[in-house]
Structure 1
Amino acid sequence: MLFLPHQESSSSGQRRVTDMIWSRLRPVIVPLVLLFSFFSFTTPFASAAAVLPASEVQALKEIGQTLGKADWDFSVDPCSGQNSWGIAGSENAVICNCSYSNNTVCHVISIILKSQNLQGTLPPQLVNLPYLIEIDLTRNYLNGTIPPEWGSLNLLNISLLANRVSGPIPKEIGNISTLKSLVLEFNQLSGVLPPELGNLPQIQRLFLTSNYFIGEIPATFANLTSLKDLRIGDNQFTGKIPSFIQNWKGLEKLIIQGSGLEGPIPPEIANLNNLLDLRISDLKGPPSPFPPLFINLSMRTLILKSCNLIGSIPDYILKLAGLKILDLSFNNLTGPIPGNFESLTTINYLYLTGNSLTGPVPEWFFNSGKYIDLSYNNFTIPPQGCEKSTVNLFASSAKIINSEPAACLGISHCPRTFYKIHINCGGSEVTVGNELYEADSRTDGPSHFSTGGHGWAFSSTGVFMDDEPPINTYIWNNTSEAHGNGKAVIKTFTANVTDGTLEIRFFWAGKGTVSIPKKGDYGPLISAISVTPNFDTPKEPGTGSSISAGAVGGIAVAGIAAIVLFVGIIWWIRNQRQKHSMQNGPSSVNDEITYKAMRNHFQYVKVKKVTETETQSTQIDTTLTASSTSAADFHFKSVTAKKLCPENMECKGFGLLVLVAAVVLLASVPTHAKPAAACNLFRGRWIYDRNSRPLYNSSSCPFMQKEFDCQGNGRPDNLYLKYTWKPRSCSLPRFIGRTFLRFLKGKKILFVGDSLSLNQWQSLTCMLYALSPNKSNYRLQTSGSTTIFSLPDYGMSVTLSRNAFLVDVVEEDIGRVLKLDSISNGDSWIGYDILIFNTWHWWLHTGRKQAWDYIQQGGTLRKDMNRLVAFKEGLTTWSKWVESTIDPTKTRVFFQGISPTHYNGSGWHESGSATCGSQTEPIDGPKYPTGLPMEAKIVKQVVGKMTRVSLLDITTLSQLRKDGHPSIYGFGGERGNDCSHWCLGGVPDTWNRLLYAMLLVDREPDAELKIKS
């Protein structure tokens, strides 16, 4: 329950409460950040007299029955936060405002039921909750239509993401003048968009992706001038992209991928001067010149793929200095690459695939470390060949014409003739029946060409090429083809090979769900491929046989060399969509499929190995028939993974995710990366290693803080420097500073937090300084609470912003106010590539060390409150800010975890008077005797529900290091016994090695192998 100043129980009073709440929020943040219930945390300050009216209790009973929510316990008041009613900030909560009638009456203002396996229908009974402002039913199994009765409510937020809701959007939704966020993505909604939606004067987020909408975009949408984020991809719209988009002046993100709309892109798009993220793809219509765009230095993502663009790459692209992703693939662009492309220093991904670009390839491309795809163009390339690390040059200088080999496949001699191939995509070598499936365990990255194994090669392009594939077969709505989710599919195709080359390509056409059962999950997989001739093969002549000039290195089928080239990697889908019902009840995703996510533009997936017992039930069999000696016919067989999506969850019908040659590329919808589940980096023990030494000498780090320099302050022992963290089932990768610098070239890192953030920041900067080849070229700048360490040679900076609470502390007339529901300084955290947050220790301070005089929670001001409750409230506000503000395609976010203290020896079974002083050895074993502190459990609870943050879980491993604190050697004893911070070198170096390991998995998909024991 949220305490607000007394408001009269009238509609005008409610509007004033609503207006007051929303006026304090950032425009795109989910409205309920300020509406968390104080009673939800069961604090002693709650007023036991505040109750929910019987009419609203009855409404909740009916709503629960309609939704299929059977675990609500009506033996307690729904606003109590007790039993099954959840707590504010959770994904299973009923939130109340209990400020009415002198804090004696509550009203339900929010219902949040995310991922609760609800299988009912949408409840029209919401109208019986007149104070409701938010309904969030994300990721359930709800059927039926949207009740038109909802149009009479004063809602701020409606989220029905990833359900099975069908039918049209009721025109009555256009009556909700208060509505700011309408999220209807990944459902089965259909029909035309009602013009009445243009009557939503405050709408800021309108998400309609992955439905079955048809017709033109209503002209009334020109009135939606408050829009900040519009997503309408994967639908069946008709007509052109409307020119009235120029009215959406505040638009920051626009996604029109696979929408069905026609081009050209209207020139009025140049009036959108706040765009940070523009994604348009797969437009129908005639060729058109490159559209004009406003030069927004803050734009990070520009994707104009398959838009029928002609002409040259405009020079103004080079003025978009903040770009990180530029995808102009699958167009008809001509001319050379602009000479000063190197000025785009922040770009990480550059895709120019499938155009007609000419001229030389700039030499700096090959040493940039960027992912660059130039395949299928007409460049003049250097003679060194195709395999250029992160630069994909496959077929980049000439297409195969008249049996002439592509420039990047100029192999004229093959050691043997190949008549068949069997590849276990993403797995090790395995024998199935009498056939040996080759291992395919390489994960080389998003822009890469290499020869694979015996007689095959692959190209992971990261984009979707426009060339007509030799096998022009479109694959498929998996649910209908397999007659249900999670079932095997066998497909048969026919292909004639007449020019000695077989190219098997997989594309993504912008269709299908990408967030079921969770964000970043893309449907069915291919786990193996085989190619076999459908005729008797001649006896092999042995090794060393030559092949014809028209043969392209690697694979011979029926005497003609054929390369099976895995290009593209994401399924091309024809518009064969149908509606399909879910056939089974809820179940989880099959654990046999391991998802390994990459932070930026793509996701890498490791698929279950092919086993003999599943061969017959999971093969996709493609039969090809022979016709002449000049055309080879053969079987093309793909073995699909058994579990493609949850059995009761529709993956929108299209096999969007395909694994070929262990690489899967997803178009612009990333998920944050975590180390593989098999390797828990944070569970283990400290091992004595007499050869261990710090990665730097504290005395040689010129900016070392005196409080951390224990050796320089006279600590007599160095045993604490001889312990190495050993995860239980892993080995940490060695910290290689140059590798880390190469990863972070051109990047910006920001630490936000208290002095424990300073501790980690100091450790990392000393590491990087010590391992930088040019130690004279570094900069250290301090301004107020911000310190910036930079290495100009690498264009990299590591910034520290001191902020003890993350939420705001504001100086007001009454004194300093800690505002648990407000983050106004968050703007300064945007624009970084990596964010590492920390907070806790200052929440405990009292007396003169306390940094605030009052705590404000919603509309209530208090002198003090339970500090754990306040901490959880503030951390939840921060989590909501991150989830709604930080774009995971641009920024990787970590939370440092709780750094423990060692002031009381009873925690490790010594005398309560014992402290970290004179401790010289860590605690032996994997667990701290008294377990995790409550604050660490709160962090796990809050961060564990976030989709865009990884927990750098340092608590347990640091608890074991009672010997690692400065004690009296922080300032030579001048400031007492410090058992909070850590000596450097020391424990924070391990924190940074763990950070390095997690980033290594992000940047290099095969890093999973490196960190396993």
Structure 2
Amino acid sequence: MGINHHYNQNNQPCPNCPTKRLVTWVLCALIPLALLHFYIFPISPTENPPLITETTLENSKPINPLDKEAKPKSQPAQPLCDYFNGNWVKSTIEPLYNGTSCGTIKKGQNCMVHGRPDTGYLYWRWKPENCEIPTFDPALFLQLIKNRHIAFIGDSMARNQLESLLCLLATKSKPELVYRDSEENKFRRWVFKEYNTTVSVFWSPFLVKGFEKSAASGLSHNKLYVDVADEKWASDLHKFDIMIFSIGHWFLHPAIYYEGENVLGCHHCPEFNHTEIGFFGVFQKAISTTLKRVKEELNGSDKLVVVTTFSPAHFEGEWDKAGACPKKEPYKQGEKDMEYMDTEMRKVQIEEVTTVAKEVEAAKGRLRVEALDVTKLAMMRPDGHPGPYMNPNPFAEGKKERVPNDCVHWCMPGPIDSWNEILLEIVKRWSN
């Protein structure tokens, strides 16, 4: 029987023989090729099929290579650190800068250069109850804000925090002042050229439209329009990537409040025929108006909004009397309770931030809104203010009964640097 002839069971000629010959030829050709493939690429008996995981945009975040503590996606997310509750603990870590190495310290906060003799206030670190705050890493912060614009908006406490951050960052890269107004440095802008980063400060002590009391203008009280954001910063919103809002102390001054064209009431205004309404409700409206404006304009963008909570003052007597804030060490946990006013101011800010953050989440917005909760840690640092050293060498000619004291702002370096350590942690989470 030749290979070119096929027979059926009855040895009769096969009508489908050409087709069968073709199939047989193909199989004979493919089988050796398959055997050759598995000889060259053997199957490992221990090889597992690839693991397929289902992720969503809500629960998956890229790991930041700069964050040494970044965790693989498969591990559960770590709970957020509660910075509010904690204690100040002694530290041997030297400040990153001093009164002569940083050129952006406002004179009134340069306690070392102004002759403050004690240095113990420099060697304390804030330790939250259930977590640690890493020491400030200027290189990491600059990398995280590379190609971005960060703006501090508010009163002199916003400026105080801004200048602290500039001093910390200057230990890695020197900022260049590229703009300043002629009005007591209320509006300034710096760039870190190496990182293409811009840092700005905007003077806006109410965040809403307002006119400050001034002898020159004849105003003995502030005028606030609580439903209108201050355009001095609001008109530039689209330029910012990170915004830090910080206000509070200017609301303690006498003021008349407006909503639209109507007078809402006033605070400490016996000479006017207006209803006394205090300032807590107005403070709430100002924060609400601010965050509403930001949310309306930026909810579709990956921006970060931070509200620094109220920082208490520590006057223990008249502001111009010696010993107005004489403490040399922090309060211990439980040694002093927060004052009612400080508690209420913080409460307003936390509630407004929480409300807006939930609204953004419900609308699936990309804006990040957080509180930088410093009220308690600031309250526990009565030793960190310039006091009489807001002016150079106040006791060079001996002790005085009357001397101006600053028990509101913070020495630099000093406790306020801890605020920016926490800010770095917030920026790290946002960047991830």
Say yes or no: TM over 0.5. yes
1:679 to 1:942, Cα distance in 2 relative to 1, 3 A: same
- Are 1:969 and 2:379 matched, yes or no? no
- Are 1:737 and 2:133 matched, yes or no? no
1:744 to 1:985, Cα distance in 2 relative to 1, 3 A: same
Q: Which structure is higher in helix share?
A: 2
1:768-807 correspondence to structure 2 within 5 Å = 768-772=169-173, 775=174, 778-783=176-181, 784=183, 785-807=186-208
Q: CA deviation at 1:769?
A: 0.6
Match of 1:727 in 2: 128
1:318-357 correspondence to structure 2 within 5 Å = none
1:550 to 1:702, Cα distance in 2 relative to 1, 3 A: farther
2: CA distance, partners of 1:917 / 1:548: 85
Partners of 2:177 and 2:188 within 8 A in 1: no
Q: CA deviation at 1:957?
A: 0.4
1:37-76 correspondence to structure 2 within 5 Å = none
1:181-330 correspondence to structure 2 within 5 Å = none
1:652-671 correspondence to structure 2 within 5 Å = 662=74
1: CA distance, partners of 2:316 / 2:262: 36
Partners of 1:682 and 1:953 within 8 A in 2: yes
Indicate the SS of the match to 2:207. Answer: coil
Indicate the SS of the match to 1:700. Answer: coil
Identity %: 28
Q: CA deviation at 1:805?
A: 0.2
1: CA distance, partners of 2:116 / 2:39: 75
Match of 2:229 in 1: 823
- Are 1:686 and 2:83 matched, yes or no? no
- Are 1:696 and 2:108 matched, yes or no? no
- Are 1:882 and 2:294 matched, yes or no? yes
2: CA distance, partners of 1:779 / 1:549: 66
1:558 to 1:598, Cα distance in 2 relative to 1, 3 A: closer
Q: Which of 122, 137, 152 does residue 751 from structure 1 map onto?
A: 152
Match of 2:6 in 1: none
Q: Which of 351, 365, 379 does residue 959 from structure 1 map onto?
A: 379
Indicate the SS of the match to 2:228. Answer: coil
If you compute each CA radius of gyration, which structure gives the higher value, 1 or 2? 2
- Are 1:870 and 2:320 matched, yes or no? no
Q: CA deviation at 1:568?
A: 8.2
Indicate the SS of the match to 2:384. Answer: coil
Partners of 2:226 and 2:257 within 8 A in 1: yes
Normalising by structure 1, report the TM-score: 0.32
Partners of 2:209 and 2:225 within 8 A in 1: yes
Structure 1 residue ranges without an equivalent (≥5)? 1-498, 500-546, 572-593, 601-605, 608-659, 665-674, 847-851, 906-912, 1005-1013
Partners of 1:685 and 1:926 within 8 A in 2: no
Partners of 1:820 and 1:873 within 8 A in 2: yes
- Are 1:713 and 2:114 matched, yes or no? yes
Q: CA deviation at 1:569?
A: 4.0
- Are 1:993 and 2:421 matched, yes or no? yes
Q: Partner amino acid for 1:732?
A: I
Indicate the SS of the match to 2:136. Answer: coil
Q: Which of 966, 969, 983 does residue 411 from structure 2 map onto?
A: 983
Partners of 2:177 and 2:191 within 8 A in 1: yes
Match of 1:108 in 2: none
Indicate the SS of the match to 1:821. Answer: strand
Indicate the SS of the match to 1:726. Answer: strand
2: CA distance, partners of 1:941 / 1:935: 10
Match of 1:843 in 2: 251
Indicate the SS of the match to 2:100. Answer: helix
Match of 1:1007 in 2: none
Partners of 1:599 and 1:892 within 8 A in 2: no
1:706 to 1:975, Cα distance in 2 relative to 1, 3 A: farther
Q: Partner amino acid for 1:989?
A: D
Indicate the SS of the match to 2:191. Answer: strand
Q: CA deviation at 1:595?
A: 6.5
How many residues are paired up? Answer: 347
1:760-798 deviations in Å (ceiling 9; x for gaps): 0000001101122xx4x7335312531112110110111
Q: CA deviation at 1:570?
A: 4.4
Q: CA deviation at 1:889?
A: 3.3
1:982 to 1:945, Cα distance in 2 relative to 1, 3 A: same
Comparing 817-826 with 880-889, which one deviates more in the overlay? 880-889
Q: CA deviation at 1:747?
A: 1.1
- Are 1:941 and 2:351 matched, yes or no? yes
Match of 1:309 in 2: none
Q: Which structure is higher in strand share?
A: 1
Indicate the SS of the match to 1:564. Answer: coil
Q: CA deviation at 1:984?
A: 0.4
1: CA distance, partners of 2:289 / 2:235: 15
1:551-700 correspondence to structure 2 within 5 Å = 558=45, 561=47, 564=50, 566=52, 569-570=55-56, 662=74, 676-677=78-79, 679-689=81-91, 691-700=92-101
Q: CA deviation at 1:698?
A: 2.1
1: CA distance, partners of 2:60 / 2:407: 38
1:219-260 deviations in Å (ceiling 9; x for gaps): xxxxxxxxxxxxxxxxxxxxxxxxxxxxxxxxxxxxxxxxxx
Q: Partner amino acid for 2:391?
A: F
Aligned CA RMSD, in angstroms, stands at: 3.5
Q: Partner amino acid for 1:922?
A: P
Q: CA deviation at 1:883?
A: 2.5
Q: CA deviation at 1:940?
A: 1.8
Partners of 2:204 and 2:230 within 8 A in 1: no
1:959 to 1:855, Cα distance in 2 relative to 1, 3 A: same
1:33-58 deviations in Å (ceiling 9; x for gaps): xxxxxxxxxxxxxxxxxxxxxxxxxx
Partners of 1:683 and 1:728 within 8 A in 2: yes
2: CA distance, partners of 1:891 / 1:720: 35
2: CA distance, partners of 1:788 / 1:798: 6
Q: CA deviation at 1:799?
A: 0.8
Q: CA deviation at 1:1001?
A: 2.5
2: CA distance, partners of 1:953 / 1:789: 26
Match of 1:908 in 2: none
Q: CA deviation at 1:927?
A: 6.8
1:808 to 1:963, Cα distance in 2 relative to 1, 3 A: same
Q: Partner amino acid for 1:944?
A: T
1:678 to 1:661, Cα distance in 2 relative to 1, 3 A: closer
1:334-375 deviations in Å (ceiling 9; x for gaps): xxxxxxxxxxxxxxxxxxxxxxxxxxxxxxxxxxxxxxxxxx
Q: CA deviation at 1:952?
A: 0.1
2: CA distance, partners of 1:982 / 1:742: 27
2: CA distance, partners of 1:888 / 1:926: 43
Q: Partner amino acid for 2:296?
A: S
Normalising by structure 2, report the TM-score: 0.71
Q: Partner amino acid for 1:959?
A: M
1:892 to 1:548, Cα distance in 2 relative to 1, 3 A: farther
Partners of 2:207 and 2:230 within 8 A in 1: no
1: CA distance, partners of 2:62 / 2:262: 43
Indicate the SS of the match to 1:877. Answer: helix
Partners of 1:895 and 1:950 within 8 A in 2: yes
Match of 1:305 in 2: none
Q: Partner amino acid for 1:768?
A: L
2: CA distance, partners of 1:767 / 1:732: 16
Q: Partner amino acid for 1:966?
A: P
Indicate the SS of the match to 2:236. Answer: helix
Structure 2 residue ranges without an equivalent (≥5)? 1-33, 65-69, 268-276, 358-367, 395-401
Partners of 2:338 and 2:379 within 8 A in 1: no
Q: Which of 337, 343, 352 does residue 929 from structure 1 map onto?
A: 337
Q: CA deviation at 1:868?
A: 1.6
2: CA distance, partners of 1:780 / 1:763: 18
